[in-house]
Amino acid sequence: MGRVATRQFLRLRGRFRGRRGLLAFLAVMGPGLIAGIAGNDAGGITTYSFLGARTGLTLLWLFPVTIVILAVVQEMAARLGVVTGQGLSDLIRDRFGVRWTAFAMVVLLVANVANTVAEFSGAAAALEIFGVPRWLTVPVVGAAIWALVIYASYRTIERVFLSVTLVFLAYIVTAFLAHPDWGLVAHSLVTPNLPLDATTLLLVVALVGTTITPYMQFYLQSAVAEKGIGEEELGLERVDAVGGAVWTNVIAVFIVVATAATIHVASGNFSATDAARAFGPVAGDLAEALFAVGLFGASVLAATILPISTAYVICEAFGWESGVDKRLRDAPSFFFIYTFVLVAGAVIVLLPGLDLFAVILASQNLQGLLLPIVLIFMVVLVNDERLMGRHRNGPRLNVLAWVSVGLVVLLDLVLLGVTLLGALGISVG
């Protein structure tokens, strides 16, 4: 009986340990998943819809590549936040000085305002499918987002963010309703195929640019630091960061599969809202509604994170108090910047005659051009032995990190080259 009791005790102890481990992960989980999924915003969904509509499943093999790149970048950001307890812009200022920091902040502010415009545009366009006018959607969504951040605690906001990420399940359901050839999907995921025309090359640039954006990394590191995740929980936060990278790319794959199975076959529509409307006659009204709901949820999530991320970054860069758990009088600069970006994005999207597609394109390009600078800062910082100690990058991680930086730089050069040729009147189509 003694042996039986001992075995039962050991089984129970193992079960409780597993429970504690699960509870510990659930307590840590959040920053990585939210940062990753925020990349699937209005601009991202538009890019993935265009990709599926224009190229079908041809470029699906790129997503395993972007999973690796994003996982490497997010893991470094999370590790920097856990070990140092500081945000990325704070570390950049300490290591590289005020001039580089100010340059990065100006570019990031302009890009994030433009991206916030795109998010409000996505939210408004999604509800227009259900007959809700833009002039009603934008103020209501803007006011709700502002009130959430001003009056709620960080943990409450994080729970809301995690709840919103569930809307992305709509894209998985939509893909199944489109009835794709899953054998062909599996084959396309593992079979590289890269047509060398200008349109396809620019799509590759857009895909990487919308999947790995600087504001995601700034937000992730600041959120990890504010949440107070300690070194003993570093392993769990790494899982959170890598899991966010995998989840966001899985959703992107389903968006491409859904549009490739419908729009690529049925029509030439390319925008996210056109994509949603195209599902009606091809895959049914439910698919159309689910796609629109996903677009709305993704846009609202990103429209909340972008102003917060911008406020975090700028305040950290100049040593001002920051954090959603702070009171308004304790961190006035943080809440002023947050409010400015949010209001600017909402007001601009309501201006008559605004070319929203041009705004989305410009914001994606600005983020893409800033990304190599941010990645280089991150790799240098994460290799600083004084800063990171035993948690600095190892040889394998450095290879992956520098290869990722090199790929992003190469894609930016393609973007700049095509832009320059277009400006000179040389056709690249």
Contact 292, 82 (CB under 8 A): no
Residues in the chain with pLDDT values less than 70? 1-29, 154, 196-199, 264-288, 354-366, 415, 418-419, 421-429
* pLDDT reported for residue 218: 81
Rounded distance between C-alpha atoms, residue 147 and residue 158, angstroms: 14
Coil, helix or strand at residue 392: coil
Contact 161, 34 (CB under 8 A): yes
Maximum separation of any 2 CA atoms in the chain, in Å: 88
Coil, helix or strand at residue 322: coil
pLDDT digits (tens, 9 = 90+) for 172-192: 888 888 788 899 999 999 988
Rounded distance between C-alpha atoms, residue 275 and residue 35, angstroms: 25
CB atoms within 10 A of CB 396: 8
Q: Minimal CA–CA distance to 408: which of 363, 379, 375?
A: 375
**Which CATH class, in words, describes the domain spanning 32-422?**
mainly alpha
Domain extent listing, the chain:
32-422
* pLDDT reported for residue 270: 54
* pLDDT reported for residue 421: 66
**Beta-carbon contacts of residue 248 (< 8 Å; ≥ 6 apart):** 36, 37, 39, 40, 70, 211
Q: Minimal CA–CA distance to 291: which of 38, 39, 49?
A: 49
Q: Which residue has the tokens 């729009």?
A: 263
* pLDDT reported for residue 99: 81
